[in-house]
Structure 1
Amino acid sequence: MITSKMSKLNLVQFDKKDIPGLIELSESVGWDYDKHEIGTIMSSGKVFGHKNTEGEIVSSAAIIPYEASFASIGMVIVNKEYRGMGLGKEATQQCMNSLTSDIAVMLISTEDGKPLYEKMGFKIVGRVHKYICDTYSSSNLTNRTVTIEHFNENDLHKIIELDEAAFGDKRSNFLKHRINQSEECLVVKDNIGDIIGFGLSIIGPINLIIGPIVAPDAQIASLILNKLATEHQGKLRIDIPSGNGVFMEAVEKWGFVNVSNPPIMMFNSTKMPQRNGELFGIAAQVFG
């Protein structure tokens, strides 16, 4: 039966006309990709996967290459009726084949997917902490040494610079698309007007996704999160890299619950890219 199904499948690169089918695939496994999120993924990278003879999308995997020596894989999904056929591995391998051989590749795995990625040569190098909040308990946080303002186009260069130091690679193209997608983009300025941090929020079909958050310390990261979250009515989500214990303690006080700690896995490297410790919330797991 598996051989019969497999012979009827085509591995393809998807484009924007495939977005409705990718949303349907995402919904089938309880994930919350929408047309805006998939649009940003496609504008920043490539999405591969399989279609059956009826044109139904039955698998996907996305690759987001950044500007130096680093890329991120995500959105690895297989329709439950087509599992056990190696489709996830084939789509993921196609993502990796689209890169030069010297690029380090990161992905944030589900626990179920971890054995597959280990067989492909990925190594666990850390974890992220997925936090969900049903009802946000706002705080009257203040810091007289900084001001928080809405983004304007003149801020983009500095945001790209701060993100590069915090994330570990330059990702200008992605950030331009992510800011355009955002519900809100805030910058933090010090008392002489220099930008020292920023944060974004993204409206999804289930959650307001908060991230990336880049800040010089946990207190300023908390100010950014509070400003982005306070007026939202509904669920919130933030994914926080390991090593941010003080910040995680703060978000838990405001109603966030740690629901999972998925592993960060790397190929072509045994460690994360060099980071300065100022990344308090990632953009989304697909973007690393």
Structure 2
Amino acid sequence: MIIELGELNESDIPGLIDLSASVGWDYDEHEVGTLLKSGRVFGHKNAEGRIVSSAAIIRYDTNLASIGMVIVHEEYRGLGLGKEAAQTCASSVPADIAVMLIATKEGKPLYEKMDFITVDFIHKYICDEFAPDKPVNHDLVSVQAFIAADFPKILKLDAAAFGGKRSVFLRNRISQSKQCLVAKNNNGEIIGYGLSIQGPVNLILGPIAAPDSETAALIVEKLALHHKGKLRIDVPEGRTDFMSYLERSGFVKANTPPVMMKNSAAMPQRNHSLYAIASQAFG
């Protein structure tokens, strides 16, 4: 059996989509394209050139990177391909870079063998039909469409919320988004922002950064307005009021995967304004 590990590129997008579909994940060409533009993707190919494993790593501007899209085709499990691909990702950045990932139940033992430790949790929510509990009446905040001149402020807000500057990824994600909205106070200052990404199955809401849960809820309502179909949002641990609002508005918690870190014993320093992450691949 000839199986080779190598770095993948844009010509491999169809194969990566097929691989993700084989395990029930809903990556499409836009999501895979953002991964390739923002970071590096590695994977194994069999003798016929079919992609049978993948792992992606996104190196951010500061001393932080994120691993995602770790997939092994079910016919090729038990061969160590997932570990090799993920290890190649981790080894592609300097040893002093903190590496984070959000683990599946199946992947957690593998990452523990690679010296990743659990430092936090993410709450994954799915919604079949969004019905806001009570429309948010926030007189002090207005939500508007993003314009290019807003980017420096959004980048600054995101860096403080996420715990690291990620300019390349954020530009690519905004470009991919269905909507990018900014929240402004009465002085016209940008105090929050949010994105929606249309996937094959779900409209993904995130990242969302806001000064409080009411502003975060207002951004969610504007992003979800008029959408017919499923919604998904991944919420960091500790956002109790916001999660209660989501549950009252039709969201159901699907699972609570662990956030794991290597080369660091804790999450990056954050200012508690992150209400939804970009995705489990990007953190």
Q: TM-score band (shorter)? A: over 0.9
- The residue matched to 2:281 in structure 1 has which SS? helix
Partner of 1:24: 18
Q: Return the TM-score normalized by structure 2.
A: 0.99
Question: 2:246 & 2:221 partners in 1: Cα distance?
Answer: 9
Amino acid at match of 2:220: L
2:262 aligned to 261, 264, 267, which one? 267
Q: Shift of residue 182 of structure 1?
A: 0.3
Partner of 2:99: 105
Partner of 2:148: 153
Amino acid at match of 1:40: T
Question: 2:91 & 2:45 partners in 1: Cα distance?
Answer: 19
- The residue matched to 1:60 in structure 2 has which SS? strand
- The residue matched to 1:258 in structure 2 has which SS? strand
Question: 1:140 & 1:122 partners in 2: Cα distance?
Answer: 41
- The residue matched to 2:41 in structure 1 has which SS? strand
Partner of 1:163: 158
Q: Shift of residue 142 of structure 1?
A: 1.4
Amino acid at match of 1:11: L
Q: RMSD across aligned C-alpha pairs, in angstroms?
A: 0.6
Q: Report matched runs for 1:1-288 at 5 Å.
A: 5=1, 8-138=2-132, 139-288=134-283
Alignment: residue pair count: 282
Q: Identity, % of aligned pairs?
A: 59
Q: Shift of residue 230 of structure 1?
A: 2.0
- The residue matched to 1:141 in structure 2 has which SS? coil
- The residue matched to 1:18 in structure 2 has which SS? helix
List, as ranges, runs of 4+ consecutive aligned residues in structure 1 with deviation greater than 2 Å. Answer: none
Question: 2:151 & 2:184 partners in 1: Cα distance?
Answer: 14
Q: Shift of residue 97 of structure 1?
A: 1.3
Could you tell me which runs of 5 or more consecutive residues in structure 2 were left unpaired when the two chains were aligned: none
